Amino acid sequence: MVSSIISHVDGFGLQASEDSALKPEHDGHIWLGNFLKSKMVDGYVDRAAIQPEDIQPALLPCLIVLDRLPADGEVRADFVYRLMGGTLVDYAGVNMTGKLLSTFPHPDIRASMETYSHAVCDHIKPLFSATHATFGNSDTVFTERSLYPTIKGETTGIIALITVNAPPAPYDSVKESPNYRHVREHYRLLNDVGCWG
């Protein structure tokens, strides 16, 4: 599984490596993991048990919820956005709510999210990643993502917290082909929800 993540992400010019000691800098990731731990059913977060008012208000604009669609023959399953928080909409410049992950307009982010989302659903384990990207204009973007496997009825998917430390609209001039000078991406599959040790 690790090699598939690395090769898929590397195909888009990113360097991803596993880091078993990786921990979030943003406290929201720890809080969300601990909160979701109380909503677990058979390894999944029970999405029906989550009420928006139970989540820290500052985290809501940074959440996404994806449902995994059934695979279509030889074609790998896609994901549909059920929710894309406002901060992420502003950052990406597009609201993906109701749209397919495969149509996300930024190829690098799409490839990374597809790979990590499939890993979370396939292994029924949470995943945390941290990315440092430096662009040709010297803007630096630091992104942390924690993804958790969810279930609602018969539908599996993910809930993810994505925190971004970036200058305003970092993709405005590089939407089609980001001019990366350097990207460093690390990820970690967690043994369990809320298990950062």
Domain boundaries, the chain: 2-189
Residues of the chain predicted below pLDDT 50: 1-13, 173-177
| Helix-strand-coil split of the chain, %, nearest 5 | 30, 35, 40
pLDDT of residue 176: 44
CA angle 36, 84, 2 (to 5 degrees): 60
pLDDT digits (tens, 9 = 90+) for 101-111: 999 988 878 88
Three-class SS string for 137-172? CCCEEEEEEEEEEEEECCEEEEEEEEEEECCCCCCC
pTM of the model: 0.84
Contacts (Cβ under 8 Å, ≥6 apart) of 22: 128, 129, 130, 186, 187, 188
pLDDT digits (tens, 9 = 90+) for 7-50: 344 444 455 677 777 888 899 999 999 999 999 999 999 999 99
Beta bridge partners of 7: none
pLDDT of residue 73: 78
CB 189 within 8 A of CB 89: no
CA–CA dist 156, 13 (Å, integer): 29
Beta-strand ranges (E) seen in the chain are 16-18, 40-41, 44-46, 63-68, 79-84, 127-135, 140-152, 155-165, 180-189
